[in-house]
Chain A
């Protein structure tokens, strides 16, 4: 009797695990179809949004005693995966209109680049290292357009329709 009881309990537990997994998988697919992400569900829609042959991209110029860097990808500005960096900067500096918040964010970002540099790991790109002892003192975010017809990836250019949309500089 005791063995039968354990057998029934195990069969029931297996059935419950099967049902819960099925619900989880269905929810996963639903998130893909609805383009939603909510932990622990993920749409896994990497590279599924159209880029076309001409598309906008963010770029940054970092400022220091020497001057401004060439425009570069923004991936090394935050210690999170490169695509998350783009999403965060987009939300804070593009979607949000609170200038005090933007300046506070930029201030902390520059502090981290100077004081807490990080190494690259997986899709987290290494931080942009300072060129001088005083470190980075400002940043300028740019909106640019890449046209695959003439884009040379080796030099990251030419960049079209360059529009600065945010800049910040530490007070001297």
Chain B
């Protein structure tokens, strides 16, 4: 009964949902546009697709020319949708950037599709809002809740994979983290290699953050805000230690988990 109430509030009672949805679309548009810049150049697709086909490692994807246009269109629609008030532009950005991202991932089937959440989030953010006020709020609230669930799922997957594939290292020895810092670490982080005993604790801490964020989605606005800040700090530390900011996820956390506008704060302080 309590869980049903929590899920209902999470889905349909997100505070100030419409204004937050605009902020989320803005963040997503900018992230989507910038992520197009990070994809491989079309020349790479043209040059190596025959090699990958011959090696039997490629899957069906767009031709290089279409890929180039999808990248440009993805960046353009992403920037245009950053105004935050057009579901149509967000939808166009989701389709074009998704097509470019799919081509990059399909070119070589072992390529990890580790930023496909951006297209999935854009698709959710592009649902049209109904005309009726109450239904608009409910739909906007549901969209935010589903985006929170999607991001929570990413962290849950990261924790699950570590516990499933390498529990000994992530819960006891810390060897995998230590080895990763050795080969990828920044000069500052490499200094910690002289203190191998701290890596088990750091490993457990990393898995703990990844496991707690999904649970915090159910915890209401305040808990979500703290979880979002913890996750941001986590990404900050991986950026500082290994130059892996996971920015395409981290930069969405303020809009989806942390941001609350002035009206909401005033409402919280006033009598119920």
Docked Cα-Cα span, A7 to B131, in Å, equals 10
Assuming the contacts A84-B111, A148-B182, asked whether A91 and B57 have C-beta atoms less than 8 A apart, the reply is yes
Contact with A along B156-179 (1 / 0, CB 8 A): 111011101110111000011111
Contact with A along B51-69 (1 / 0, CB 8 A): 1001101000000000000
Name, among B113, B138, B178, the residue most crowded by chain A CB atoms within 10 Å (CB to CB).
Answer: B113
Interface of A is mostly: mixed
Give A87 to B114 CA distance when docked, in angstroms: 14
Task: Determine whether B74 belongs to the interface, using a CB cutoff of 8 Å to chain A.
Answer: no
Stretch at the interface among A23-31, A63-71, A128-136, A163-171: A23-31
Q: Do the beta carbons of A42 and B113 come within 8 Å of each other?
A: yes
User: For chain B, what secondary structure do more than half of its interface residues adopt (helix, strand, loop), or is it mixed?
Assistant: helix
Contact in complex: A44, B114 (CB < 8 Å): yes
Chain A residues with CB under 8 A of B101 = 39
The residues of A that contact B116 with a CB separation of less than 8 Å are 39-42
The answer to whether A153 touches B160, judged by C-beta atoms less than 8 angstroms apart, is no
List chain A residues, Cβ under 8 A from B149.
21, 25
Once bound together, how far apart are the Cα atoms of A40 and B98, in whole Å?
A: 8
Chain B residues with Cβ below 8 Å from A146 are 179, 182-183
Q: Let me know if B161 and A50 touch, CB within 8 A.
A: no
- Residues 1-48 (chain A) with a chain B CB within 8 angstroms: 3, 6-7, 10, 13-14, 17-18, 21, 24-25, 28-29, 31-33, 35, 37-48
B177 to chain A, nearest CB (A): 7
Query: Quick check: B132 and A3 within 8 Å, CB to CB?
Result: yes
Question: Which residue of chain B has its CB nearest to the CB of A55?
Answer: B179
Counting chain B CB atoms within 10 Å of each CB, the highest count among A31, A45, A83, A124 belongs to A45
Docked pose: A92 CA to B53 CA in angstroms = 11
Complex CA distance for A57 and B258, rounded to whole angstroms: 40
For B135, list chain A residues within 8 Å (CB).
7, 10
Q: How many Å lie between the Cα of A42 and that of B181 in the bound state?
A: 24
Say yes or no for B212: interface residue by CB 8 A criterion. no
Min C-beta distance of B106 to chain A, whole Å = 6
B150 proximal to A (CB < 8 A): yes
Contact call B54/A121, Cβ cutoff below 8 A: no
User: Is there contact, CB below 8 Å, between B130 and A98?
Assistant: no
Inter-subunit contact A105/B132 (CB<8 Å): no
Instruction: Among A14, A38, A44, point to the contact of B138 (Cβ < 8 A).
Output: A14
Across-interface contacts of A39 in B (CB, < 8 A): 101-102, 105-106, 113, 116
Query: Does B112 reach chain A (CB closer than 8 Å)?
Result: yes
A34 to B176: give the CA distance in the assembly, Å: 20
- B40–A50 touching, CB < 8 Å: no
What residues of B have a CB within 8 angstroms of the CB of A45 in the complex? Answer: 157-158, 161-162, 165
**Interface-located stretch among B15-23, B41-49, B82-90:** B41-49
B153 with A29: CB separation less than 8 A: yes
For the complex, give the distance between the alpha carbons of A42 and B119 in Å. 12
Could you tell me the distance between the alpha carbons of A83 and B114 in the complex, rounded to whole angstroms?
A: 11
- Let me know if A21 and B44 touch, CB within 8 A: no
Residues in A with CB closer than 8 Å to B245 are: 122
Chain A residues lying within 8 Å of B234, measured Cβ to Cβ, are none
Residues in chain A near residue B57, CB distance under 8 A: 91
Contacts A28-B157, A44-B114, A124-B38 given; does A50 touch B166 at CB 8 Å: yes
A138 CB-CB contact with B under 8 Å: no
**How many Å lie between the Cα of A78 and that of B120 in the bound state?**
27
Contact A48–B139 (Cβ < 8 Å): no
Query: Is the beta-carbon distance between B40 and A79 smaller than 8 angstroms?
Result: yes
Please tell me if B124 contacts chain A, counting CB pairs below 8 Å: yes
Most buried by B among A6, A44, A80, A148: A44
Shortest distance in angstroms between A87's beta carbon and chain B's nearest beta carbon?
A: 5
Which residues on the B side are within 8 Å of A43 (C-beta)? 112, 157, 161
Given contacts A6-B130, A79-B40, A124-B38, are A42 and B166 in contact (CB under 8 A)? Answer: no
- Chain B residues near A33 (CB-CB < 8 A): 160, 164
10 tightest A-B CB contacts, nearest first? A45-B161, A51-B179, A48-B161, A44-B157, A40-B116, A153-B190, A39-B105, A48-B165, A32-B157, A39-B113
